Amino acid sequence: MNHRRSSPEPLLWMLFSSGGMVAALMVPILLFLFGIAFPVGLLSAPSHAHLYAVLHNPLTRLVLFGLCALALFHWAHRFRYTLYDGLQLKRYAVPIVVLCYGGAVVGCVIAAGLLLTV
Amino acid sequence: MATEITLEVARYRPGVDSEPVMQSYQVPLREHWAILDGLTYVKDHLDGTLSFRWSCRMGICGSCGMTVNGEPQLSCATFLTDYAPGPIRVEPLHNFPVVRDLVVDIDDFMTKLPKVKPWVVREVQSPVEEGEYLQTPEELDEYQQFSMCINCMLCYSACPVYSLEPDFLGPAAIALAQRYNLDSRDEGADERRDVLSSPEGVWACTFVGECSAVCPKGVDPAGAIQRYKLTAATQSIKELLMPRISRRLNSRSQG
């Protein structure tokens, strides 16, 4: 016996929460390395050829794609509720859902395209 | 230091006032006086018609929750001197219908609370002769903070989701459900699941966190809700991926 209404909310929340965690763990490291440490010379920057090789490793691509995709779904979920509650726009739920999660899907496709073509 | 402080108190007398009006009272500013002592002074000496709820005066009963200068507070645990030189604005708790003056109607919570079965559920009750259900200190730590809730409604008053979605089960009810879900003696988690994992349950919460910020007993309802979200999400994804296995497990655990 199961009266539970099936809803995509648990899955969307999983994407949201894992996106938040992954972004919080990885983005500061990437920002520190590529935004501060390499440009100001705190650490010696890797050569272009080295980075290029690292980026062509399928594992790097997978990790970077995971980071982009999960962070985008984190944004989508948070932004959806910001529009619902913060701006009181819940009556436009359908277009908001399409905009937020659709936007995340589009972002994932772009991220995959970029990662595969570099 | 001034010897008096002004209390601006929200008055609503059904049949007299069409909407709440503010009324000012001068009360003695004494070092050990809480807002509640100020209100009691008003009732005893200035205006016997002022209505407010209180009982224990020591942060145990949860009756005297009010909005003090815009923040939900226990009026027995909030001191006049902290707001000197005043004035101090005292209003009923937000997000609840006002019965009279500072008295609010909390029937909505009283209807929601039993839905989460906030008691130890056992499939088979062992006879008393078999002794107590034993528990280790670690097992006690799992749920103890949630058992400190005094149903004072400050968390409901602070919750912006509850003010937008009155159907939301709410912080205290979910924290109390977790108080039993996390108790090693309890076997009722499956029975609580339908209510907790409904759209009006944990999924309505957007993790603003004000409930935990205002709790006078150090309970962390926001944490309880996020923790249950993980439990509920893991279970539904398991059911999605392995429908047959989880159905079998479910029917077994629900007897």
Domain ranges in chain A are 9-117
A73 to chain B, closest Cα gap in Å:
15
**CATH 1.20.1300.10 given to domain A9-117:** yes
Is the CB of A14 inside 8 Å of chain B's CB atoms? yes
| Superfamily designation of domain B107-253 | Alpha-helical ferredoxin (1.10.1060.10)
Return the closest-CA partner of residue B154 out of B98, B212, B72, B90.
B72
Is the CB of B166 inside 8 Å of chain A's CB atoms? no
Four-residue CA torsion sign, B69, B72, B74, B78:
negative
Using CA coordinates, name the residue in chain A closest to B206.
A81
Chain center to CA of B246? 34
**Cβ separation B233–A4 shorter than 8 A:** no
B113-117, long-range: CB < 8 A, 24+ apart: B113/B151, B113/B172, B113/B173, B113/B176, B115/B169, B115/B173, B115/B195, B116/B169, B116/B173, B116/B174, B116/B176, B116/B177, B116/B192, B116/B195, B116/B196, B117/B177, B117/B180, B117/B188, B117/B191, B117/B192
Query: Is the preceding omega at residue B85 within 30 degrees of 0, hence cis?
Result: yes
**Cβ separation A7–B203 shorter than 8 A:** yes
A80 to chain B, closest Cα gap in Å:
11
The per-residue pLDDT string of chain B (255 residues; one tens digit each, 9 = 90 and over) reads: 679 999 999 999 998 989 999 999 999 999 999 999 999 999 999 999 999 999 999 999 999 999 999 999 999 999 999 998 989 999 999 999 999 999 999 999 999 999 999 999 999 888 889 888 999 999 999 999 999 999 999 999 999 999 999 999 999 999 999 999 999 999 999 999 999 999 999 999 999 999 999 999 999 999 999 999 999 999 988 888 887 766 665 554 443
**Packing angle between helix A9-31 and helix A58-81, nearest 10 degrees?**
120
- Phi/psi at B99 (5° precision): -85, -50
A11 to chain B, closest Cα gap in Å:
7
Q: Which chain B residues are within 8 Å of A3, Cβ to Cβ?
A: 194
Task: For chain B, give every domain's residue range.
Answer: 4-104, 107-253
Angstrom distance (rounded) from CA B116 to CA B95: 21
Q: Which chain B residues are within 8 Å of A9, Cβ to Cβ?
A: 199, 203
One-letter amino acid for residue B57 of the chain: R
**CATH 3.40.50.620 given to domain B4-104:** no
- Phi/psi at B254 (5° precision): -90, 5
Instruction: Tell me if A88 sits within 8 A of A96, measured CB to CB.
Output: no
For chain A, the farthest-separated pair of C-alpha atoms sits apart, in whole angstroms, at: 64
Instruction: Tell me if B104 sits within 8 A of B12, measured CB to CB.
Output: no
**Cβ separation A10–B232 shorter than 8 A:** yes
What is the Cα gyration radius of chain B? 22
**Cβ separation A9–B160 shorter than 8 A:** no
This prediction has a pTM of: 0.87
**Cβ separation B197–A13 shorter than 8 A:** no
Query: Is the preceding omega at residue B87 within 30 degrees of 0, hence cis?
Result: yes
